[in-house]
Chain A
Amino acid sequence: MHKSLRSLSQRDSNSTAALEMEQTELMKPETLEDLIKTLHKLFESDSVNVEEVQSIMESYKSKPHEWMKYATFDQYRYTRNLVDEGNGKFNLMILCWGEGHGSSIHDHTDSHCFLKLLQGQLKETLFDWPDRKLQAGMLQKSQQVLLENQCAYINDSLGLHRVENVSHTETAVSLHLYSPPFQTCRTFDQRTGHHKSAKMTFWSKFGKRTPYESTVSQENN
């Protein structure tokens, strides 16, 4: 069983962690390109070490000039911008959130979901899967505010979530990794627990604009 890595900022003060890092041949990614290369290595096998991926993603210190070309904002909704297709093992994308933009409550189609803040802050609200006897709507389980460079993790067994930029003055940019990649997910109506399938579309791929098929909202937000 692979031991989880300690936070890389503690590397110098803890020789055990340093040794572990040598063994796994993983360096703290200095650039976004380094991060992508490291992620390719981490996802070579079919098993995913969640703590390791989360730690690596958290240790990349966001440098806007490295990801600016992927970060295009839409005035009315958050955008999804594909960065890398991970050799078919994962999708890496950057999401741009204007002031007040939020997602629906959604699942992750049996995949791992890693969410790292590159700029600004995002509020994540967790929900349980709705059961049939839903009386008063879906109640939130917990919420947290994710700060710059923090990386959160979720999968369907942990529940559902809604992600929002609650700021009225700042935009937010986040880096998402989904493994295996998926094209549709379920969006949930908070009042009733009713769900609907939503197709996930990209605003841009690899820095190039890819127009939507339809501009009408699929978000239940």
Chain B
Amino acid sequence: SEQGGACSVLYLSRLHLDDLSLDHLTDSKRQQIQQLHLTYNRLSFLPNAVCFLSNLEYLDISNNALTVIPDDIMRLTNLKTFVAKNNLLDESSFPKEFERMQVETLNLSGNRFEDIPMQFLKMTTLQSLSLGGNRLKNIPAEIENLTSLEMLYLGGNLISSIPPEVANLTSLRYLVLCDNRIQSIPAQLNKLHSLLSLSLHNNLLTFLPREILSLVHLQELSLRGNPLVVRFIKDMTYDPPSLMELAGRTIKSQNLPFSSCDLPSNLIHYLNLASECPNPKCAGVYFDSCVRHIKFVDFCGKYRLPLMHYLCSPQCSSPCSSNPQSDSEEENSVPADRLQRVLLG
């Protein structure tokens, strides 16, 4: 249906179209069209007529048989939303110059992408990117270039790990990684301060990083269909720290000053890699020698999620850690006498 005036929508879905001619429209009518729906047709190519709708802002060509997007799409300089779900597109389908498009919403779910095309990773205007239900094997580190991204939907792919660079998408509100093969979540994800919803269901997670607790704005977290551990058995094996580690720990915890004239650069680099032990009762650091610990916490509507963090030694413990029957546990809220009982075993 067409409306005159400010916003003009042309609805041409479910018409068995294998091509489209808009010659019957005057030039001025064609300039008026801002939204075009061509879903559920029989298009195996994008009709040329579409590329000459110079004021087009919204194009939906989902559920067709497109294998390629023509160079002429670059003529659509006002295009803000491009939806082409359920077609036959892959990473070689898009023109090289596509990165120059000022598109804000790109939905290419249900296609045949095995990689995210390089062009997409340069589109700094992109606010919403959907590549659900494709064949992506990984997320490239260059994803961090999409600094305007608020929504990233990558559910239903073959992704096995999340690069820490995802954490640099500081505008991200909604991150969907469900139905993949992810075994762990990088702790850096706690840098996603704007994150409101995180979808992780149907993956291979056994625990989550404890850092997830700092996502204070998180309203939704889906975790069904993950082999999350119910019980944690402390590692009985522990490799004692090396002499270098012990020296490094002493230097850091005693705050011994050092400069480039005191130490070779490789040792300076090593000292800068120190991680602070999260136990607030311990002022220590660790380098390579650490102990994995899991705490069960009620979080975001879920019961007893296994949250993992490293401690600097088996003697160290985080507050309120040893009681597996305890329910929701607050940070730093354990009374001193209980902590003493824990430390004394």
A interface vs B, CB < 8 Å?
75-77, 99-100, 102, 104, 137, 162, 166-169, 187, 189-192, 194, 196, 215-221
On whether the beta carbons of A169 and B302 are closer than 8 Å, the reply is: no
Nearest chain B CB to A164 CB, angstrom units: 8
Q: Which 7 A-B pairs have the closest CB atoms?
A: A168-B132, A168-B133, A76-B197, A217-B301, A189-B303, A168-B156, A169-B110
Given A76-B219, A100-B176: A219 in contact with B301 (beta carbons within 8 A): yes
Residues of B within 8 A of A76 (CB): 174, 196-197, 219-220
Nearest chain A CB to B213 CB, angstrom units: 14
On whether the beta carbons of A216 and B86 are closer than 8 Å, the reply is: no
Residues of B within 8 A of A187 (CB): 301
Residues of A within 8 A of B196 (CB): 76
On whether the beta carbons of A217 and B221 are closer than 8 Å, the reply is: yes
B126 adjacent to chain A (CB < 8 Å):
no
Q: How far is the CA of A166 from the CA of B132 in the complex (A)?
A: 11
Residues of A within 8 A of B223 (CB): 221
On whether the beta carbons of B219 and A216 are closer than 8 Å, the reply is: yes
Residues of A within 8 A of B86 (CB): 169
Residues of B within 8 A of A75 (CB): 151, 174, 197
Q: How far is the CA of A157 from the CA of B197 in the complex (A)?
A: 34
On whether the beta carbons of B228 and A191 are closer than 8 Å, the reply is: yes
On whether the beta carbons of A99 and B219 are closer than 8 Å, the reply is: no
Residues of B within 8 A of A219 (CB): 220, 222, 301
Residues of B within 8 A of A215 (CB): 219
Given A99-B155, A169-B110: A217 in contact with B300 (beta carbons within 8 A): yes
Number of residue pairs across A and B with beta carbons under 8 Å? 83
Nearest chain A CB to B199 CB, angstrom units: 6
On whether the beta carbons of B303 and A196 are closer than 8 Å, the reply is: yes
Q: Kindly state the interface size class of chain B when it binds its partner.
A: 20 to 34
On whether the beta carbons of B304 and A189 are closer than 8 Å, the reply is: yes
B295 adjacent to chain A (CB < 8 Å):
no
The residue in chain B whose Cβ has the minimal distance to the Cβ of A216 is B219
Q: State which residues 185-206 of B face A: CB under 8 Å.
A: 196-197, 199, 201
On whether the beta carbons of B220 and A217 are closer than 8 Å, the reply is: yes
B178 adjacent to chain A (CB < 8 Å):
yes
- CB-contact partner of B224 in A190, A192, A217, under 8 A: A190
The residue in chain A whose Cβ has the minimal distance to the Cβ of B150 is A75
Q: State which residues 277-311 of B face A: CB under 8 Å.
A: 300-304
Q: How far is the CA of A162 from the CA of B228 in the complex (A)?
A: 18
B49 adjacent to chain A (CB < 8 Å):
no
On whether the beta carbons of B132 and A162 are closer than 8 Å, the reply is: no
Q: How far is the CA of A166 from the CA of B109 in the complex (A)?
A: 13
Nearest chain A CB to B60 CB, angstrom units: 12
B246 adjacent to chain A (CB < 8 Å):
no
B85 adjacent to chain A (CB < 8 Å):
yes
On whether the beta carbons of A169 and B301 are closer than 8 Å, the reply is: no
Nearest chain B CB to A2 CB, angstrom units: 39
Q: How far is the CA of A169 from the CA of B153 in the complex (A)?
A: 10
Residues of A within 8 A of B20 (CB): none
Given A100-B155, A168-B153, A189-B302: A162 in contact with B224 (beta carbons within 8 A): yes
The residue in chain A whose Cβ has the minimal distance to the Cβ of B230 is A191
Nearest chain B CB to A123 CB, angstrom units: 12
